C-alpha cells in the first residue's frame, strides 16, 4: 500500500480502496451486507463501521489528504459537525450557501443552540473581522449558487492563528481543484451525492480531517447519531469516484466554453463562473484553484416566469435540482422557497454534464429562444 501514497489525485481515486492483492481475490471491494460481525472485533456492529464504507473512505482520504468518515447524506455530514459544537457556540459562516445548510444554520440559531455571524466569503476583510470570538468558520467556496470564491489560503491561515476551527464544504470544487486540508482547514466536507459519486443515483456525504481527536469526536457522533451510509450506496459512490478526474475535466472544459458563449448571448444579463477571465472572482480563484468546476449560474434579461420557461424548454438538459452528475441539469433556484432572498429571482443554475458541448449549447440556445 505504501507505494500508492505518492500517486497523483487522478490515479489515487482509481487505485485507493481496493482489497489486498491475493490469488483470485476481488479487484473491487465486495458489498458487505452484515449488520454484525464475528468477535473478536475491530468493527463490531454495522452502525460502527462496514468494510464497503471503509473502501470508499480510503479512496476519498487519498483524494482529500485526510482521514474520512462517510455519512448517509451531505446534510448528515454537516449536521455531525454542528452537533459536536458546544451549546451557544459562536460560528462564522458564508451568507450564501447550499439552501439546506442555510436552513439548518437558521434553525439552530432560532433554537439558540448556536450563534451565527454571516459573512460575504469573497470579502476577506469582512471574514477576518468576524472571526475573533468564533469557534468555527464554516465556508463554501465557490458558494452555491452565487459562485463567490473565498481567498481560502489567506482566510484559513487567519482563522487558525486565532485558534478558530475551519470547515470547508468542498462540494463544488472537489479536492481535484482545491485541497482545504493542505491549506490548513480542519475539515473538508463533500456532498458525495454530487461530483464524487457523479451519476445522480446515490445520496452520501463525507468529512475528512487530519486531526485525530476531531476524527474520533465525529466518528462518535456518527455512531450515536446513526446517520450512516448504506453498503450498496457506498459501493456505487466508489464506482462513480473512479472516473471523477475524467468526468470533471470534461465537464469543466465544457463549462468554460458555455460560460463564454452565455456571456455573449443577447438574452443573458449576467454570468457567474469563476473560470471566466472577466468574472470578479477569477483572480482569487486562479491563485489556488486547479480548475473552476462545472457549475454556472446566470441571469436572463427576463422575468422569473421567463426563466422557468427556459428551464422547461430544454430537451437534453433536465430541469431538476442537484449537480455534479454526468447529465446536465438546470433550474431556476428560486423555485425553492428556501433559496436566499439575495439570490436574484431569475437566476438559473446549470450543472454541466459530460455530453458533447455542442449539443448542450444547442439546447441552451434553443431554450433561450422560447421567451
Ligand atoms: C447538495 C449539497 C449539500 C447537501 O448534500 P446532500 O447529499 O444533498 O445532503 C451540501 N453542500 C452543497 C454545496 C451541496 O451542493
User: Domains, the chain, ranges and CATH?
Assistant: 7-241 (3.40.640.10), 245-368 (3.90.1150.10)
Name every residue whose Cβ is closer than 8 Å to that of residue 357 and which is 6 or more positions away in sequence: 253, 254, 257, 258
- The predicted pLDDT at position 4 comes to 53
- Which DSSP string do the residues of 178-189 spell out, in sequence order? --TTTTT-SEEE
Say if residue 66's pLDDT is above 60. Answer: yes
- Among residues 137, 25, 17, which one has the least CA distance to residue 82? 137
- Helices 74-83 & 212-225 angle (0-180, nearest 10): 110
Say if residue 266's pLDDT is above 80. Answer: yes
- Which DSSP string do the residues of 7-75 spell out, in sequence order? --HHHHHHHSSPPPP-TT--SS------SB-PSS-SS-BTTT--HHHHHHHHHHHHHHTSEEEEESSHH
Say if residue 68's pLDDT is above 90. Answer: yes
Angstrom CA distances, 242 to 9, 235, 316, stand at 11, 11, 25
Give φ, ψ of 254 to 5 degrees: -65, -40
User: Ligand 1 pocket check: which of 100, 169, 236, 295 to mutate, most ligand atoms within 8 Å of Cβ?
Assistant: 100
Q: Write out pLDDT tens, residues 199-245.
A: 999 999 999 999 999 999 999 999 999 999 999 999 999 999 999 99
User: Ligand 1 pocket check: which of 60, 74, 202, 349 to mutate, most ligand atoms within 8 Å of Cβ?
Assistant: 74
For ligand 1, the distance from its centroid to the CA atom of residue 331, given in whole angstroms, is 16
For ligand 1, the distance from its centroid to the CA atom of residue 3, given in whole angstroms, is 33
Separation between Cα atoms, residue 314 and residue 335, nearest integer Å: 17
Name every residue whose Cβ is closer than 8 Å to that of residue 60 and which is 6 or more positions away in sequence: 68, 70, 190, 192, 196, 206, 208, 241
Residue with cell 459544537: 85
Helix (H) or strand (E) holding 80: helix 74-83
End-to-end Cα spacing for the chain = 57
User: Ligand 1 pocket check: which of 73, 98, 195 to mutate, most ligand atoms within 8 Å of Cβ?
Assistant: 98
| Residue identifier of the C-alpha nearest atom 2 of ligand 1 | 191
Give φ, ψ of 362 to 5 degrees: -60, -40
Name every residue whose Cβ is closer than 8 Å to that of residue 262 and which is 6 or more positions away in sequence: 268, 271, 296, 298, 364
For ligand 1, the distance from its centroid to the CA atom of residue 339, given in whole angstroms, is 13
Q: Using a 6 Å CB cutoff, which residues line ligand 1?
A: 73-75, 98, 100-101, 140, 144, 169, 171-172, 191, 193-194, 203, 205
Q: Write out pLDDT tens, residues 131-170.
A: 999 999 999 999 999 999 999 999 999 999 999 999 999 9
89: helix, strand or coil: strand
Separation between Cα atoms, residue 241 and residue 53, nearest integer Å: 13
Separation between Cα atoms, residue 121 and residue 138, nearest integer Å: 10
| Residue identifier of the C-alpha nearest atom 12 of ligand 1 | 98
Residue 180 half-sphere exposure, CB side, CA atoms within 13 Å? 32
- The atom of ligand 1 lying closest to the CA of 204 is 7
For ligand 1, the distance from its centroid to the CA atom of residue 144, given in whole angstroms, is 9
- The predicted pLDDT at position 1 comes to 43
CA dihedral 336→337→338→339, nearest 10 degrees, is 70
For ligand 1, the distance from its centroid to the CA atom of residue 272, given in whole angstroms, is 20
- The predicted pLDDT at position 2 comes to 43
* pTM tops 0.85: yes
> DSSP strand E in the chain: where?
67-71, 89-94, 114-119, 136-140, 165-169, 187-191, 205-209, 268-272, 295-300, 318-319, 329-332, 347-351
> Sorting pLDDT into bands at 50, 70 and 90, what band is 3?
very low
Say if residue 289's pLDDT is above 50. Answer: yes
- The atom of ligand 1 lying closest to the CA of 203 is 7
- The atom of ligand 1 lying closest to the CA of 77 is 9
Active-site residues, by number, are 47, 98, 169, 194
For ligand 1, the distance from its centroid to the CA atom of residue 195, given in whole angstroms, is 11
Q: What is the mean pLDDT of residues 54-58?
A: 98
Q: Write out pLDDT tens, residues 358-370.
A: 999 999 999 999 9
Q: Write out pLDDT tens, residues 4-41.
A: 568 998 999 999 999 999 999 999 999 999 999 999 98
Name every residue whose Cβ is closer than 8 Å to that of residue 266 and which is 6 or more positions away in sequence: 301
Handedness of CA 159, 160, 164, 167 (dihedral sign): positive
Quote the percentage of the chain above a pLDDT of 90.
98
Residue with cell 451568507: 95
| Adjacent-strand bridge partners of 116 | 91
User: Ligand 1 pocket check: which of 140, 174, 189, 193 to mutate, most ligand atoms within 8 Å of Cβ?
Assistant: 193
- The predicted pLDDT at position 6 comes to 80
- The atom of ligand 1 lying closest to the CA of 194 is 1
Asked whether 320 and 293 are in contact (CB, 8 A), the reply is no
Q: What is the mean pLDDT of residues 40-57?
A: 96
CA dihedral 171→275→345→190, nearest 10 degrees, is 0
Handedness of CA 206, 210, 212, 217 (dihedral sign): negative
Three cell numbers written together for 245: 478526474
- The atom of ligand 1 lying closest to the CA of 75 is 9
For ligand 1, the distance from its centroid to the CA atom of residue 193, given in whole angstroms, is 7
Amino acid at each position: 500500500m505504501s507505494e500508492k501514497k505518492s500517486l497523483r489525485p487522478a490515479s489515487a481515486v482509481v487505485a485507493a480502496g481496493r482489497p489486498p492483492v491475493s490469488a483470485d481475490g476481488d479487484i473491487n471491494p465486495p458489498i458487505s451486507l452484515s449488520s454484525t460481525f464475528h468477535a473478536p472485533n475491530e468493527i463490531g456492529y454495522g452502525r460502527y463501521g462496514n468494510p464497503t464504507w471503509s473502501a470508499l473512505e480510503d479512496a476519498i482520504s487519498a483524494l482529500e489528504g485526510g482521514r474520512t468518515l462517510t455519512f448517509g447524506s451531505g446534510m448528515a455530514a454537516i449536521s455531525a459537525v454542528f452537533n459536536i459544537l458546544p451549546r451557544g457556540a459562536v460560528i462564522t459562516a458564508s451568507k450564501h450557501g447550499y439552501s439546506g445548510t442555510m436552513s439548518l444554520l437558521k434553525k439552530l440559531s432560532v433554537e439558540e443552540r448556536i450563534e451565527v455571524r454571516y459573512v460575504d466569503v469573497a470579502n476577506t476583510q469582512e471574514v477576518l473581522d468576524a472571526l475573533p470570538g468564533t469557534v468555527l468558520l464554516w465556508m463554501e467556496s465557490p458558494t452555491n449558487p452565487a459562485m463567490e470564491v473565498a481567498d481560502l489560503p489567506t482566510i484559513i491561515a487567519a482563522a487558525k492563528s486565532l485558534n478558530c476551527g475551519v470547515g470547508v464544504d468542498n462540494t463544488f470544487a472537489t479536492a481535484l481543484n482545491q485541497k482545504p486540508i493542505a491549506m490548513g482547514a480542519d475539515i473538508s466536507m463533500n456532498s458525495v451525492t454530487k461530483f464524487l459519486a457523479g451519476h445522480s443515483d446515490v445520496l452520501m456525504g463525507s468529512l475528512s480531517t487530519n486531526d485525530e481527536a476531531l476524527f474520533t469526536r465525529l466518528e462518535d457522533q456518527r455512531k450515536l447519531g446513526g446517520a450512516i451510509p448504506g453498503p450498496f450506496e457506498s459501493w456505487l459512490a466508489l464506482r462513480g469516484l473512479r472516473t471523477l478526474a475524467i468526468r470533471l475535466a470534461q465537464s469543466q472544459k465544457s463549462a468554460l466554453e458555455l460560460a463564454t458563449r452565455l456571456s455573449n448571448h443577447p438574452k443573458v444579463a449576467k454570468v457567474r463562473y469563476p473560470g471566466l477571465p472577466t468574472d470578479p472572482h477569477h483572480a482569487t480563484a486562479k491563485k489556488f484553484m486547479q480548475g473552476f468546476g462545472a457549475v454556472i449560474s446566470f441571469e436572463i434579461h427576463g422575468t422569473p416566469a421567463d426563466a422557468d420557461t427556459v428551464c422547461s424548454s430544454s430537451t437534453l438538459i433536465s430541469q431538476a435540482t442537484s449537480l455534479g452528475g454526468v447529465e446536465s441539469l438546470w433550474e431556476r433556484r428560486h423555485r425553492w422557497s428556501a433559496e436566499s432572498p439575495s439570490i436574484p429571482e431569475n437566476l438559473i443554475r446549470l450543472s454541466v454534464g459530460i455530453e458533447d458541448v455542442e449539443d448542450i449549447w444547442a439546447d441552451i440556445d434553443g431554450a433561450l429562444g422560447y421567451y
